[in-house]
Amino acid sequence: MFQNHPLLAQLKKNLHAKTPRVEGIVKSTERGFGFLEIDAQKSYFIPPKNMKKVMHGDKIIALLKIEKDREIIEPEKLIEPFLNKFVGKIEKRDHKLFIIPDYPMLKDLIICQNDTNYINTLQNGDWVVARLTKHKLNGNNFFYAELIEKIIKKDDPLTPWWVTLARHNLARKEPLANKDDFILKENYYRQDLTNLDFITIDNSHTKDIDDALFINQTSDEGFSLIVAIADPTAYIKNDSKLDLIAYQRSFTNYLPGFNIPMLPRVLSEDICSLNPNVRRPVLACHINILKDGNISNTTKFFLAWIKSKAKLSYEHVSDWIEKSGIWKPPNKTIENQILYLHRLCLLRIQWRLKNAVLFKDNLEYRFHFSENGKIVDIFAEKRRIAHKIVEEAMIVANISAANFLSKNLGFGIYNIHSGFDYSNAENVVAFLKNYNLNFTVQEIITLKGFCKLRRVLNVLSNNYIDSRIRRFQSFGDFSTVPAPHFALGFSEYATWTSPIRKYSDMINHRLLKSIINKEKSIKPSEEIKLKISEQRRRNRIAEREISDWLYTIFLQKKEQRNKKFKAEIIDIVRNGIRARLIENGANVFIPGVFLHKIREELTFDQEMGKVFINGIMYYKVSDFIYVTLSEIRLETRSIIAKPED
């Protein structure tokens, strides 16, 4: 009799209004229940029945209730779904399509809205892009998704690349263009330097060659260096269709096995590429380096024509300098160019050791693939002397460009690094005191003080201390106005030496040209800076995810499963250790259960990067340990390892 009584309805409404509400992010578990994470310190339990209304990662408002003397969450309102546009695998059941999102914590099937074309063309395991269209918290009985496009068939060797690129909305192919579209769009005066013996040094397989070098020794024991850089902006008008494409991509995306160029290959690998014995337009910089390694203030930027006399490889040049292998320079002139560049390199390295920052070389890893795209092996590569020769020349050129832009314009696209913020600097100073290294906060937040600290750490050569200090450092960024680059140790730094591969370098090319030709210069907007920064971040994430996927495929091979690997501990997390295999570079996770059977006796100190058992330190970041592989999870692209005695 009271079912529709207005007073009872009002009472229920009042009680509902008084129920406390909280806002947070849903975190699911493999056991069906979940938690609503309010912040880093606070979370509430979500029972399995209520987890069926939401997905891992959803941002929601929920009712906070008491059930059996325990605070629980009842989802009420969706603020932002975790899934919007996403990738996943198709599953067919009873002539209906379902999609399983490619996320570790999302394992439930989502119903695909009917589309007869997709039903007839898609098979179990095919990869697609979809968009979530209906969510249970919005009053629907089921989750629904709309298929947008097919990515690739099940078990195609290119799956790791295409799926990852689709997930991050990154281009999968080069920009389309015809060779006839590219004619020189400028009629500026260019100096004819085709008689000079420019050389290029790159990987043997490199096709997009963007820098050439010519060097002489001066009478006062210094060096006269001309850095010539390929000039794509001579063919691409500002704000043109192709310029917009380059802006959207921002970088050539270098991935394991191949790259996806920022510009059409016909331009980057042919028309602009500084291939040997062909006449090419360049933006050049003439730099004098004094005998003490300092850069003279007589630097000059200009437009020119050059003709490279030799395409050399890092491997051959390094072998010859190190007196190994059978390769020799093709003639005496090329030999002298290599010798002078080598001397300049050593001079600049010594200068940077005393005046700037020089980091230790890290191993790099290269994937080797068969003709059909399957991974065959992974090789460790160390940077050799020829790599350093080119690197030092490019650093000199980029310092010169930054100074030139600052002096003439006061803006450009600068690469910056701010060292430590104030609070992190306090942590660094406190940490260093434990090792009798005395610095002040005011000292290390300056460029000079930061460089001094880095040089002290280089001499100390303690990998643990070095790793802890790096945790406190800021990340690199871009700026439209001059600012220091602490990590390199320079008061300003602006790259212009890779315009085929970086849109920021194309911008700096146009600004340098505007100064040379005394034309109006337009300051890059903050929007451009943010776009370039975001695109770089997405490219790096994609490269890392593809590598992780390839590692799981490679290490599933029988010959890898029972091997003992040497590994370096790279991080301590709240429930285990992250380490990197020295042989191939794979990242592995070592759960706490493999370190010690009694969890209560284990302490993971993430801040200090150490693991304690019963108060005794057993592991720390930078330690080398031996591990074997315990489990490889292809679905999550993760590798579980256990330590060996």
- The catalytic site residues sit at 202, 208, 210-211, 314, 501
Chain Cα centroid distance, residue 356: 24
Alpha carbon distance, N-terminus to C-terminus of the chain: 74
Q: Tell me phi and psi for residue 422, to 5 degrees.
A: -60, -45
**Could you identify the residue written with the tokens 């969890």?**
599
Q: Dihedrals φ, ψ of 179, to 5°?
A: -60, -35
Angle between helices 463-472 and 422-433 in degrees, nearest 10: 160
* Distance (Å, whole) CA 549 – CA 530: 29
Q: Which of 262, 265, 242, 245 is nearest to 253 (CA)?
A: 262
Q: How far is CA 550 from the centre of its chain?
A: 17
The torsion region of residue 293 among left (phi > 0), alpha (psi -120 to 50) and beta comes to left
* Cα 167 from chain centroid (whole Å): 16
**Burial of 442: CB neighbours in 10 Å, binned 0-12, 13-18, 19+:** exposed
Looking at the DSSP bridge assignments, the partners of residue 305 are 192, 281
- φ, ψ of residue 615 in degrees (nearest 5): 80, 0
Half-sphere exposure of 192 (CA within 13 A, CB side): 1
What single string gives the DSSP state of each residue in 456-518?
HHHHHT-HHHHHHHHHHSPPPEEESS---BTTTTBS-----S-TTTBHHHHHHHHHHHHHHTT
In a 3-state reduction of DSSP, which class is residue 620? strand
